[in-house]
Amino acid sequence: MDGTIKKGICIWSLPIEGPYACKLASESGFEGIQLELGTYERGFPLSKKYIQDAYLEMGKTYNIDFPSIAVRELDYYGMTRPDRSQEKQIAKQGIEKAIETARDMDIPIVMLGSFADGEIKNEIDLQNVTACLREACDMAENYNITIGTENVLSVDETKRLFQNVNRANLKLYFDTQNYYLFKGYDTTSMIQELHPYFCEVHAKDGKDNISSCLLGEGDSSFHSSMEELIKSGYTGWINIENYYDLQPLRLEHDDELTLIKKDLDTLKSTILSISTKGSGE
């Protein structure tokens, strides 16, 4: 019933990073891993060919796809920074490296987040991010790559961002907790309004203003969000992004893989239940 939705996990949610993560993900029941470029201080490791080759080899061995690459370093060197600043140059370098890496590894999506140092808080921030996303989209278009913006803008602000960037290969990377976590927005209504923009989805949960719960056990309306997502006709990847190595979530079990498998089972059963209900069976 749910063959049009694939289930992946973010590499930073696994207890082991690096190419060996493909084995863990496969044995845990996942179909794919969202990779990350790595840090500026370490030279953006995934941009190195021998590291790419190692991932591709292990992915092939364990039947793991790589649906997207995240540039998480934008949390520290935001796209909001002025163009001539050192931080902005690092951000642009990371974006360029990620697009080149996606090209070389045949990965269709590069995710660019706007959080922490890169959070869009005012009009100048919006203008800086708009220009950066436009430049990234133009670069990525040459290789048929989608740029996924992940942020916590309101519905109207999101639509304005897309209008301002005005590039067909810009899409929204949606997160099932972030909008409620950071802004108190209703996730279900966000999906209703924004699902045509989606390229991929992060699934996580939490309560008390942190990401701290297994899927469906928090306060971010996971089940109703999934119901609305499936009702919208979404097809593509849902990548689990819970933080199993951090307290308080890691206190629930001394084996993080047990928690990861429980979340995957929840995701699968939720999708199946909603899909079966929707089909009238």
> Could you tell me the pTM of the whole model?
0.97
CB contact at 8 A, 68 and 109: yes
Q: Phi and psi of 98, rounded to 5°?
A: -65, -40
The pLDDT-based confidence of 2 (bands split at 50, 70, 90) is very low
Confidence of residue 209 (pLDDT cuts 50, 70, 90): confident
Q: How far is CA 263 from the centre of its chain?
A: 16
- Output the pLDDT for position 280: 57
- Could you give the angle at the alpha carbon of 221 between the alpha carbons of 218 and 224, nearest 5°? 140
Tens-place pLDDT, residues 120-136 = 999 999 999 999 999 99
| 173 closest CA partner among 216, 118, 226, 110 | 110
Give 38-69 pLDDT, tens digit per residue.
999 999 999 999 999 999 999 999 999 999 99
Inter-residue contact 64 to 28 (CB < 8 Å): no
Residue 60: partners with Cβ closer than 8 Å, 6 or more residues away: none
**DSSP codes of every residue in 222-272:** HHHHHHHHHHTT--EEEEE---TTSTTGGGG-S-HHHHHHHHHHHHHHHHH
Q: Is the pLDDT of residue 1 over 90?
A: no
pLDDT surpassing 60 at residue 239: yes
Q: Please give the Cα distance from 200 to 191 (Å, whole number).
A: 12
Q: What is the pLDDT of residues 163-206, one digit of tens each?
A: 999 999 999 999 999 999 999 999 999 999 999 999 999 999 99
Asked if residues 94 and 78 have their Cβ atoms less than 8 Å apart, the reply is: no
pLDDT band at 279 (very low <50, low <70, confident <90, very high): low
5-279: CATH superfamily: Divalent-metal-dependent TIM barrel enzymes (3.20.20.150)
User: Alpha carbon of 125 to those of 15, 80, 96: distances in Å?
Assistant: 35, 5, 20
Question: Is the bond preceding 108 in cis, omega lying within 30 degrees of 0?
Answer: no
Rounded distance between C-alpha atoms, residue 61 and residue 55, angstroms: 10
